[in-house]
A = this chain, B = another copy of it.
């Protein structure tokens, strides 16, 4: 059980961190995630940290690195399920999760990713309706 599973749901990759992270696990997760992003053309990564009692600077840095690498590969990262105590500790420690967006839970994270999804190459090529989120605009639909 040395690898953290990366689950694919639509064009989102979901990772649930449940084990204590060490260098090896963190690097393995980063490798797996980048490979899966490229392989699946995922546009978003959701990292669930419900199980974590503590987010220290090591995990914080890992999350930031994953977010940065994912962004280069055109995938947004959202960290979800942070416990209240973890959030308080993060702020008290002065740790900022650079480049990492957060949401309350997986569903909110998915909504966030759906809203911020960039127009995909395929839909640009299709026609001019580049963005799903803009179809609600009356000016466009009329």
Give the B-binding residues of A (Cβ under 8 A): 1, 3-5, 7-10, 14, 16, 18-20, 48, 50-53, 81, 105-107, 110
Contact = CB atoms under 8 A, between A and B. Distances in A.
Contact of A10 (B8, B50, B105, B107): B107
Given A1-B20, A5-B16, 9 more contacts: A1-B53, A5-B18, A5-B50, A5-B51, A7-B81, A7-B106, A9-B106, A10-B107, A14-B14
22 contacts: A1-B18, A1-B19, A1-B20, A1-B53, A3-B51, A5-B16, A5-B18, A5-B50, A5-B51, A5-B81, A7-B48, A7-B81, A7-B105, A8-B105, A8-B106, A9-B9, A9-B106, A10-B107, A16-B16, A16-B18, A18-B18, A19-B19
